[in-house]
A and B are shown apart, each in its own frame.
Chain A
Amino acid sequence: MAQGSYLVGVDVGGTFTDVFFLNQQDGSFAVAKTSSTRSDQSLGIRTGVAQHIDDLSEIGTVVHGTTVGTNALLERKGARMGVITTAGFRDVLEMRRRDRPQTWGLWGGFEPIAPRDLRLEVPERVLADGTVHMPVDLEAVEEAARTLIERGAESVCLFFINAYANAANERLAQDAVRRIWPNDHVTASHEILPEIREFERGSTAGLNAYLQPPVGSYLKKLEGGLRAGGLEGELLIVQSNGGVMSVDQARRFPVRTALSGPAAGVTAGAYIAAEAGFPNVITCDMGGTSFDVSLVADGETALAAQTSIDFGLVIRTPMIEITTIGAGGGSIASVDRGGILQVGPESAGSDPGPVCYGLGNDRPTVTDANTVLGRINAEKPIGGKLDRLDVAAAKRAIQTHVGDPLGLDAMEAAEAIIRVANARMAGAIRLVSVERGHDPNRFVAMPYGGGGALHVGALIKDVGLSKALVPRYPGVTSALGCVIADMRHDRVETLNALLDDLDITALDKRLSAIARDGAALLQKGNTAFEGVETQFELDMLYVGQTHTVTVPLDLKFDGATTGVMRDGVRAAFERAYQAAFGRLLEGIPMRVMNLRVAVIGKRPKFDLHLLAPPEGGALADAVQSERALYVDGEWRQATVYDRLAAPVGSVIFGPAILEQADTTIVIEPDLQGRVDPFGNLIIERKAA
């Protein structure tokens, strides 16, 4: 095998590490699955890669979607981190935006990521218009840095009030700290997010500093191991925006990896669906505790400006918009005091997990209901941890906790659980589609993750989606996304000016400079691109409003200018506002809050036909057995197929069950499935 001929995508999930190998020379592919190694994820990755490749010099590029950053945030296992800030403001990170974790109930608490004795103040002040009101006292900055080092800080964040308007003080302080700080872990708020709103900027920068040591050392270990194995090609990391960045960028800006893993999945979903002829898709990732949906319209993933990883842990960088509800396989079904059936958000997770796992939980879950109804094969559980599932125990739990209180028998109760769970998932899909003005009938659902394909039929019927597309390898969707993702650099800067007063020439210069810098950053590595695309957006609002509307600008950067014009901006705002709210507001001036530039290096795509089943073969050969499936109050005999053995063009009528190593697909009696030329299964209503 020639040097550098493999492109390798690696996704590390909670349970499994998935690797996707693409041989760019002959177009062949392979997948590997191995257990994730929680303490050091790089071990699992090397094991997974070694399943297929011994000599790592054969690899051209490794692209990695990581959850190291996400886990460090959720488990609060980031670095001991210090903050140096403007005198009077050391508590901003702890005071948040004066919120509370839940609307009802006043029992919340919040532990800041930097303890109070590691948040130090220095004399300096910049005003909102950028004027330096008080120069920064650099001796005080050095003194603060030394104190933080003494107190054991491993990383530091500089966070000055109004640094978005003028970063001069913050920059001087950063230089001063760098001179004495013992490592590279020095973050300044203006380089992470030069945007107005001190808590959001400080929180994002603080979380970057919090993540630098753990993510940095993980990436160093990973890269070291791969290099020791002979890797000469490059290592790229998936960002939360669905694009990739170099490993050096990832070490500097680890906060951009917070949603790395899920973003890769959505990226893959968008590509697979578009190739199959469905540019409008809603990806549905169902795991043990949650159901994550994301909307892709016209092939474009939707980006959110901000997300909260947990209460008070706000990250404001562009990231793929993923809506999460607490409805997964482990979600617990219960009947409340008023006699109303609830499913989730409380979850049994994967340990102890559903009742049928027999690991100590006795409250029924969605997976238990699926098992009792015959939708899941109790003799061959997915994941390989267990030999079989305890159907009788699941049935007893459903009878006790749901059936008895509602006056239903166990089978009726199990169906009720599934219907309520489906309704919650449908609600999440409605939230991202109907509520954003999209007609669900134009969208297909794309389930991946362990449980999505069990529920997708009901989602078609409940929300009115046109079809569902189950990719050929749902379990490696995220790893596939790594291989597909483009390289992307986002930049946000605050302008905060009336459109009428805005210096358009200066705006053009600023946009052009960012576009140029982004392009230079793309050229820094050895990544090959088919082309470079630059997207320009403004965040705008009517004077008096506080929430902005994202306004895409139809501009082309020609190397010298973007050609931005005031009238064009005005028209673009009116288009965007009308689409969002209906009515334009006459006579009220417009304000431009932020500019956003994305520079995207398009990586070569691979042909998904590679994944398709081999030609020939008959559907009859894919039939494995029959199984009883409980649907709408009665037992029906469903044919069970080996999913991967069903040839292109097969049409499978419900009731049917398709099984593959990591997924079970249920086709309900009123639905049918068809294997498309890529090997995807397209589920839709039976022809009348």
Chain B
Amino acid sequence: MMTIDPVTLAVLRGRLEQIADEMDATLFRSAFNPIIAEAHDASHGLYHAETGETLIQGKSGLPVFVGAMAFAVKAVIDRVAQSEPAKPGDVWIFNDPYEGGTHLSDFKLVRPFFYNGDLFCWLASVGHWHDVGGAVPGNYNPSATESFQEGMLIPPVKLYDGGEYREDIVKIVMANSRLPGSLYGDLNGQINALALGDKRLQLLLDDYGAETVSQALDELKSRAADLMRSYIADLPDGRYEAVDYLDNDGIVDAPLTIALAVTIAGDAMTIDFTGTSDACAGPVNISRSTAIASCYVALKHVFQDAPANAGVLEPISFVIPSESLLSVSAPKPVGGYTETILRVIDTVFSALAAVAPERVNGCAYGTINALSLAGHRKDGRRWVMFSFFGGGHGGHPEGDGLNHGNAPISTATIPPLEILEAAYPVRFTQWALRPDSGGAGEHRGGLGAVYEIELLEEEADAFLFGERGRHRPPGVVGGAPAQANKFLYQSNSGWDAPAMTSKMVGLKLKRGQRVRLETPGGGGYGPAANRDAAAVAEDVRLGYVTEDAAAQDYGFRDDMGAR
């Protein structure tokens, strides 16, 4: 095979990335639901014609999709192999999480890209829809024991057949959602994004020729593999272990173990989850494809210039026990997948801390805290306020962790409270940093937050899907863990906490009653004893750390600091 010249390769990489980025941007701007529009819980890319492997993916989409989308495209390729070949103008739609990864809320659209009559690659779009049916508005149902309680499941079917729009499919999907208008708007945004990608890619291939672009894609994959091998080769050989826990599965109040051993041998890495708990009754299971995708996210946080390309995974082998928590099949519930993948990422950070302390950071707050309040207004209209809440990032080699950041699996921003108050009958009574929530360390973990919300309507139901209520976000390299997640609600008898700590379904609230979420900070980096005394005093003066906590964690005395 003729090799492509280095300049054309560099130029084409930029052009291809720009196409994927533009697909992301067009969906973000036109999406209906804030989970896509504001939280960027969506992704677009180009995938290999035969294998479905990720070739190029947009830089602004949700990080976890970078690994997961390849499985989604593969699912369509397998489907096509069983029936007639793909033709121009086809678009598949589905949300099957066992084939395509993640959870039912994520609808994938997959479209073949033809050039001069040949299948060149696939284009795909995924977006988190606001409501896909099931028992709980917004689909974070901590009491689900089968996917049927989490929402509708659509296998790969054609949304467009040779350019013909299949309205019957859209009607089926819309009939299964509490918010069909929102779904319809998002679906249109995804269709437009794929059409745009097709148009841009046609122009690029016109400019450079299919042969050259195809060589560039092959070359980018082998370069990505080389790059990852060179990073792995820099690490000393050995076996590095970490273990972490989920509080419970929402059904049975018992901890679930995620055990990881990372083995480095030359330029190869094995990621082995042997020892992880079996699949559980509740919705914190994930499929194998999701587990691999989340390891990819963790590695990309540690090795930041690894591209969004399948080649990165080439030197890595995975051992994921089948029918464990991290490799389930239908109909095991997977709706709370975010909690489990955050924990997988934490174990990767913790394991790598032993071998590459200069590259890692303390674990971030580690829970998505999907909180929804839902009810009916006086005129009977249904309202659902659904949002994810933030927490602290871990301390790192260069400094303290970020206060109130977004989860490592996402680039989501939180909606402004003024937007929430304008749209829903609630009043926030507090929106603040949570003192002492960051883990102590030479570089302290960032602070989590306190959100307190009062109901202004007669009544509402509250739902929460969170984690880290018992097992705190660990520090690394001797740093201390952060504070645990804490959720409280007002009842007639005062403040109460849910039995499952951070998971709760259909709690009844009355006008004037409040819920209060105190989120974890990030874990510390390095031993607290090494922290600069002036930094401790400054933390106390500014109220990031209380005097008592400073005394306990750092041996702080009132006469030590700047006061």
Contact = CB atoms under 8 A, between A and B. Distances in A.
B413 A98 contact: yes
Contacts of B364: 106
Interface residues of B, number: 85
Choose among B10, B59, B406 the residue with the greatest number of A CB atoms under 10 Å from its CB. B10
Contacts of B412: 98
B466 to A, nearest CB: 15
Interface of B: 6-7, 9-11, 13-15, 18, 22, 25-26, 28-34, 37-38, 59-60, 63, 181-182, 184-185, 188-189, 192, 220, 223-224, 226-227, 230-231, 300-301, 304-305, 307, 361, 364, 389-390, 393-394, 396-406, 408, 411-419, 421-422, 427-433, 449, 452, 541-544
Nearest to B195: A582
22 contacts: A88-B428, A88-B430, A89-B432, A92-B431, A94-B433, A98-B404, A99-B413, A106-B402, A106-B405, A117-B541, A128-B421, A161-B428, A164-B418, A339-B226, A340-B220, A416-B7, A423-B10, A544-B185, A545-B31, A545-B32, A546-B419, A580-B30
Contacts of B405: 98-100, 106, 108
B404 A95 contact: yes
B406 A109 contact: no
A226 B30 CA distance: 51
Interface string A409-449: 00000011001100110010011000100000000000000
Contacts, number: 204
A100 B28 CA distance: 18
A104 B300 contact: yes
A575 interface: no
Given A416-B7, A546-B37, A161 B32 contact: no
Interface stretch (A39-47, A193-201, A361-369, A679-687): A193-201
B10 A106 contact: no
Nearest to A164: B418
A545 B185 contact: yes
Contacts of B22: 435
A342 interface: yes
Contacts of A88: 428-432, 452
A77 B205 CA distance: 49
Contacts of B543: 116-117
A105 B32 contact: no
A544 B181 contact: yes
A106 B416 contact: no
B418 A162 contact: yes
Interface of A (DSSP majority class): loop
A90 B449 CA distance: 12
A339 B223 contact: yes
| 4 nearest A-B residue pairs (beta carbon) | A338-B227, A338-B223, A98-B390, A128-B421
A514 to B, nearest CB: 22
Contacts of B10: 340-342, 416, 420, 423
B37 A197 contact: no
Contacts of B188: 583, 585
B418 A109 contact: no
Given A104-B301, A416-B7, A544-B181, A97 B416 contact: yes
A161 B29 contact: no
B7 A545 contact: no
Nearest to A109: B399
Contacts of A116: 542-544
A336 interface: yes
Contacts of B63: 103-104
Contact of A408 (B6, B431, B541): B6
A109 B361 CA distance: 13
Given A104-B63, A104-B301, A581-B30, 19 more contacts: A88-B432, A98-B390, A98-B406, A99-B413, A100-B393, A103-B63, A106-B361, A109-B398, A125-B427, A196-B416, A200-B416, A337-B226, A339-B6, A416-B10, A544-B181, A545-B31, A547-B30, A585-B185, A585-B188
Choose among B32, B33, B38 the residue with the greatest number of A CB atoms under 10 Å from its CB. B32
A115 interface: yes
A133 B226 CA distance: 62
B6 A105 contact: no
Given A88-B428, A117-B541, A341-B6, A99 B411 contact: yes
A50 interface: no
A496 interface: yes
B13 to A, nearest CB: 7
B178 to A, nearest CB: 13
B421 A127 contact: yes
Nearest to B203: A434
Contact of B192 (A162, A336, A337, A582): A582
Contacts of B300: 104
Interface in A514-554: 542, 544-547
Contact of A420 (B11, B28, B227): B11
Nearest to A336: B305
A415 B5 CA distance: 13
Given A197-B419, A336-B305, A108 B402 contact: yes
A110 B402 contact: yes
Contacts of A415: 7
Given A110-B403, A128-B422, A338-B224, A406 B6 contact: yes
A165 B63 CA distance: 37
Nearest to B17: A427
A103 B60 contact: yes
Nearest to B5: A416
B413 A103 contact: no
Contact of B433 (A91, A99, A198, A430): A91
A125 B30 CA distance: 34
A581 B430 contact: no
A91 B59 CA distance: 30
B29 A580 contact: yes
Choose among B7, B31, B542 the residue with the greatest number of A CB atoms under 10 Å from its CB. B7
